[in-house]
Amino acid sequence: MPNNLTSCDLHVHLAGSFYAEDLLAIGAPIFREVDWNARGFLDGYNAALQTDLNPIQLFAEALENPEIGFPKLKDAYVFGVEDGGDFEKFMWKYRLFTQLWGYGWERDRETAVSMITQAVEHHKRHGLNYVEYRAGFWGEDAELRRKMQICTETLAAESDGHFTARYIVALPRDDPWTMYQAVRQLLAEQPHLAQTLVGVDFASHEEGYSPKLFRDIFQQIRRDNAADPAQQLSIVYHVGETFFDKSLESAVRWCHEAALLGAKRLGHCIALGLDPAVAVSRRPQAHEAELVSERLDQIAYDLRHAKGLRQVGVAVDEQQLRAEQKSLGNLKKDDLVERPYTPQRFQEIRQRQDFALHQLTQLGTVIECCPTSNLRIGGVPDAAHHPVHKLLASPVNLCLCTDDPGTFDISLASEVEWVLQHTSFDPDELAQRLGTPCRFAL
């Protein structure tokens, strides 16, 4: 297996890097102290998973009778094949660990450092030598900065001649400014942290948060980078991962728009590789309805890129689009517009995917493909329809990553092996197609 593909992971969520055995080890001394229904966890988990989780009983049994109890703990935590296609279900399983994670951070610095170190040590044992970890925090400004400083310093301390850890701060889409300002203040106070704290990410829930909402903060980041080149922050962006709130055309457009805003790497981009006929089969009437505002944005996009879209075979009738634009102007922006799919429309969406992939290639944008995550969160029905096939066939910059290796119970090596098993590439061909992923490091 090509070592260059299995030694560098550019898309890793720190809180998703803990395996079931880590969950047990971290939880063992504190599981009875944790408020398991803080932030509505127990109610939400049980409703989403249709179960009756008792974490204290679960941990106690896993410790007292590991042969029977540990598999139960693992089943309650690992997001497996049977859970696929439901982002909310994934988030609740993910939060089984983050309840411990949050308690550990509130407990003391020593516990927080110990948890981070445990995740890094797992990656070292798996043979990785470079990882970019993503994590966001909570609290008031000073508390945010304290937690980010601990995270940055711990990852810096784990970096040596054989392993390098970098930190990307996850900005919440509902309020990115507060976290971003805390990052900038931290770097102003502790400029040496800029060697390890290298970027920001827009992650978690994608639906409802159009890339255009973040135009101002993208521009501010560019201005701040120009004002202080020693503290450059690159932007990475989750997009085209969960997109049932919009048409497939809009889902493709969001990927292109995020790149145009200035994101260096895009996480997932399932919308650019999943065949449209497969995409709509995942749910009844999937993608047929979207907000009037989204349809208007799509019309504006088609008019702006009419020439390029025509070159790949998309029929762009500008007169008809302008008439529709005028008609939709009489509706409320949050009204819904429905447009059923046809074989011709499916074909044009495939061509739109080709157009967007070509545009990303021209921009130098990188797609972070996370095979197992895409299967399970994206609801891709099987390996044959995985977006990786179209992504590999395109010239776009591409890297293979794990996303949440602990939550999925995978490794980077197993992800690369999965691609080799389910595509026509042999190890040398895959290594040649992807190149060295560390060239895309922030």
Q: Encode burial over 246-260: b for 16+ CB neighbours within 10 A, e otherwise.
A: bbbbbbbbbbbbbbe
**Given 3.20.20.140, 3.30.1360.120, 3.90.340.10, 3.40.190.10, which CATH number is that of 3-279+364-440?**
3.20.20.140
Nearest to 97 by CA among 78, 112, 83, 80: 78
What is the spatial distance between Cα 343 and Cα 51, in angstroms, rounded to a whole number?
41
For the chain, the domains span 3-279+364-440
CA torsion through residues 236, 240, 246, 252, sign: positive
**Separation CA 30–CA 32 (nearest Å):** 6
Amino acid identity at 41? F
Q: pLDDT digits over 184-212, tens only?
A: 999 999 999 999 999 999 998 899 999 99
Percent of the chain with pLDDT strictly greater than 70? 100
Can you say how many angstroms the Cα of residue 388 is from the centroid of all Cα atoms in its chain? 15
In the prediction, which pLDDT does 88 show? 87
Whole-angstrom distance, CA of residue 170 vs CA of residue 300: 30
For residues 255 and 240, the answer to whether their CB atoms sit within 8 Å is: yes
Burial bucket for residue 30 (CB in 10 Å: 0-12, 13-18, 19+): middle
pLDDT attached to residue 1: 63
With 70 as the cut, is the pLDDT of residue 291 above it?
Answer: yes
Could you tell me the two tokens for 175? 């309020």
Full DSSP string of 213-239: GGHHHHHHHHHHHHH-GGG--EEEEEE
Percent of the chain's residues with pLDDT above 90: 93
Average pLDDT, the chain: 96
At 405, the pLDDT band (50, 70, 90 cuts) reads very high
Q: Which two structure tokens, joined as six digits, stand for 38?
A: 């803080």
Nearest-CA neighbor of 84 among 242, 237, 207? 242
**Alpha carbons 417 and 372: distance in angstroms, whole number:** 11
The pLDDT of residue 142 is: 94
Residue 383's alpha-carbon distances to 51, 126, 419, in angstroms, are: 29, 24, 9
Who's near 192: CB < 8 A, 6+ residues apart? none
Q: Residue 340 contacts by C-beta under 8 Å, 6 or more apart in sequence?
A: 288
pLDDT in tens, 7-45: 999 999 999 999 999 999 999 999 999 999 888 999 999
User: CA 422: distance to chain centroid?
Assistant: 22
CA distances from residue 324 to 277, 319, 327, 330, 396 in whole angstroms, order as listed: 25, 9, 5, 10, 33
pLDDT digits 0-9 by tens, 307-357? 999 999 999 999 999 999 999 999 999 999 999 999 999 999 999 999 999
| Sequence letter at residue 18 | F
Are 49 and 93 within 8 A, CB to CB?
yes
pLDDT at 277: 97
DSSP assignment letter at 282: T
Query: How far apart are the two ends of the chain, measured CA to CA in Å?
Result: 25
In terms of C-beta distances under 8 Å and separation of at least 24 residues, what long-range contacts does 69-77 make, across chains too?
70/20, 70/24, 73/20, 73/23, 73/24, 74/20, 74/409, 76/51, 77/20, 77/23, 77/407
Tens digit of each residue's pLDDT (9 = 90 or more) over 219-234: 999 999 999 999 999 9
Contact present, 179 and 172 (Cβ < 8 Å) = yes
CA distance linking residue 248 with residue 259, whole number of Å: 17
Burial of 10 by CB count in 10 Å (0-12 exposed, 13-18 middle, 19+ buried)? buried
Q: Torsion angle of alpha carbons 157, 232, 134, 83, nearest 10°?
A: -160
Query: Phi and psi (nearest 5°) for 266?
Result: -115, 125
